[in-house]
Structure 1
Amino acid sequence: MIATLLLLAAASAPVAPKPLFRDPVHDGAADASTVYDSKAREWVMFYTNRRADLPQEDAKDVRWVHGTAIGTARSKDGAHWTYGGTANIPKSCTGDTLWAPEVQYLAGQWHMWLTVVPGVFRDWNAPRFIVHLTSPDLENWTCGDRLDLGSDRVIDASVIALPKGGYRLFFNDERQNKAIVTADSADLIHWTVGKRLTDTPGEGPKAFRWKGRWWLISDAWKGLLVMRSDDGTAWTTQSGHILDTPGTHPTDRAKGQHPDIIVAGPRAYILYFVHQDGEDAARTNPDWKRRSVLQIAQLQEKDGVITVDRNAPVPVRLKPSRLKPLRLKP
């Protein structure tokens, strides 16, 4: 009887398509952050809207990853997504290039931490900083402060609430060999930089609580690096990388990059972006590999080790719930 009910529950869950989402404007969706809008009863995704269709003047021209807006998409079930245009981000505190939104509901309102590059550049040699914005409705955003993190090259925020008050930020400091670093705050305004967590370079950290542990998954550019902690202080790095081996589906034939995590009870789903090297169109159009799509897979955990089968069908069972803060030690 129980087995039958489980099968029926699985059968009733919508199976996510591949790709999960493709940006209809520039075809360069990346760096997703996904939250539930309880008023609209919809899931909302914010993502970096890379201009993958912009012609390059030469192979070193990276203007296509600059001049980027933040795209949005909405879904009733977490499996089928509809493009919602670009986010209403004020330019007065940001700039021409917006990357890697991190959206959270904390202290009674919506917050966004956004990586800003002040201009459009042909190369990677430009300052980058993180800006804090707030919103009552996920539609209209108000400028907050630029975070002082002791570096002129910081990107990719991930923020969690501490159980005894205060907050922890995970970010990438490019001046420390692109290490993942932490900072703590009592008010979401003033931050004290803390530990460097990684010895190897990487970016796009995502911190979350799941199955009695704390996890940090980040983009190591050769798949995703997984770290776990029982107390939030001592971290163990999992050997190898997940999503390092290309999948079999035509839109999933490259390494997974820059994760987002949705925890739904006992299940956890990973959203990641994939460059389109493996699509048939890339054989005749070398520029096609710059295009990227968002995919979803379900995480599996056994004995403290996370694995992902990116080729398996993904029945998406998302039920919004109040998430408990991570019990990290300050």
Structure 2
Amino acid sequence: MTEKFAPAPLFRDPIYDGAADPTVIWNHLEQKWWMLYTNRRTTSPGIGVSWVHGTDLGIASSEDGCDWLYRGTVSGLDVQNGRNTFWAPEVIYHEGMYHMYVSYIEGIPSKWEGHYRSILHYTSRDLWQWNYQSTLDLSSAFVIDAAVHRLPNGKWRMWYKDERNGSHTYAADSDDLYNWTTGEPVITDFPHEGANVFKWQGFYWLIVDEWNGQGVYQSDDAIEWRRHNKILSEDGNRRDDQGPALHADVLVVKEKAYIFYFTHPDRNKGYTEESYQAKRSSIQIAELELVNGRLICDRNKKV
């Protein structure tokens, strides 16, 4: 069989061209890979940063992980009337049910700060129809970017960003994916966001978006973390792969680990902050490698 390589960029949203914060999961009913992502409205003429709010969750699907088809947006998520904001979905599959934990903001703010942010829990059998379960009660009313993984003791742990507490990563635990403890601090070195946790090559790994690359942490038990290194901070040479890798998701398939991230490839090309070119974003994929105990990522390698 002829070897096939993923294109670069891997995916661009055909409506607003603002795909960001991807998460990738296998759809058991469709027998396809699904990517859910923040559908930023880059072509909106709104004031301030209103273009990053009022966002739906976009959907793309693929049979082989290389060629992706835009499928629309996730509907039926609103828990309040009006136009609201959904960011950074985290989706896991457990015992025949998909669980989604998504960041939520009321309305369409025109500035970043000053409005409550929460994490909502939904469930689904097919990834299309979602049922609201709860708004999580965590360490503050300014929490976003959930990541969920199972601990060695069988409990579930959620890592998330608490903007009220230094924009650090906090963690909450659950026995059943529905009821969560109040979060406690985990990574407090510096402000960051977009935590993602995966198990690979005998270790647990945690990556965080430092806005100038992905910080990497390593653990034996997914509880105590040690700083490892930083990856994806330098420009790549593939199309649309310039700038640091932002808010990433890692998918482990057949012992290989693939990182999905987004870029703002035109940000450093002299365009104004309000321009479409500065706002647009692309999804990329790269393969992680463990070389002499060190996790590395060559974003220029074909995948």
TM-score bin, normalised by smaller chain:
over 0.9
Match of 2:33 among 34, 43, 48: 43
Cross-structure match for 2:175:
186
Q: Contact 1:276–1:290 at 8 Å: present in 2 too?
A: no
- In the alignment, structure 1 residue 290 sits paired with structure 2 residue 279: yes
Specify the alignment match of 2:91 in structure 1: 103
Question: Are the structure 2 counterparts of residues 140 and 120 from structure 1 closer, same or farther at C-alpha, using a change threshold of 3 Å?
Answer: same
In 2, Cα distance between equivalents of 1:37 and 1:56: 35
Instruction: Report the Cα distance in structure 1 between the residues aligned to 2:139 and 2:225, rounded to whole angstroms.
Output: 23
Q: Does 1:198 align with 2:188?
A: yes
Residue pair 2:208, 2:215 contacting (<8 A) in 1 also: yes
Alignment of 1:185-264 (within 5 A): 185-192=174-181, 193-239=183-229, 241-264=230-253
Q: Between the two proteins, what is the percent identity of the paired residues?
A: 41
Structure with higher helix content: 1
Q: Superposition pairs for residues 156-175 of structure 1, below 5 Å? A: 156-175=145-164
The answer for unaligned runs of 5 or more in structure 1 is 1-7, 315-330
Please give the TM-score of this superposition, normalised by the length of structure 2. Answer: 0.93
Give yes or no for contact 2:37–2:88 (8 Å, CA) kept in 1: yes
Superposition deviation, residue 93 in structure 1: 5.9
SS at match of 2:240: helix
Query: In structure 2, how many angstroms separate the alpha carbons of the residues matched to 1:163 and 1:51?
Result: 40
- Mapping 1:3-18, distance limit 5 Å: 12-18=2-8
Give how far 1:294 is off.
0.1
Distance 1:124 1:116 in 2: 13
Q: 2:263 is matched with which residue: 264, 268, 274?
A: 274
> What do residues 167-196 of structure 1 show as CA deviations (whole Å, max 9, x unaligned)?
100100001111011110112222222342
Supply the RMSD in Å over aligned alpha carbons. 2.0
**Aligned with 2:79: secondary structure?**
helix
1:270 is matched by which residue type in structure 2? I
Which protein has the bigger strand share?
Answer: 2
CA distance in structure 2 between the aligned counterparts of 1:220 and 1:297, rounded to whole angstroms: 18
- Of structures 1 and 2, the larger Rg is shown by 1
The one of 50, 59, 68 aligned to 1:81: 68
Q: 2: distance between equivalents of 1:179 and 1:159? A: 16
2:18 maps to 28
Kindly indicate whether the alpha-carbon contact (under 8 Å) linking 1:250 and 1:279 is maintained by their aligned counterparts in 2: no
Gap regions ≥5 residues in structure 2: none
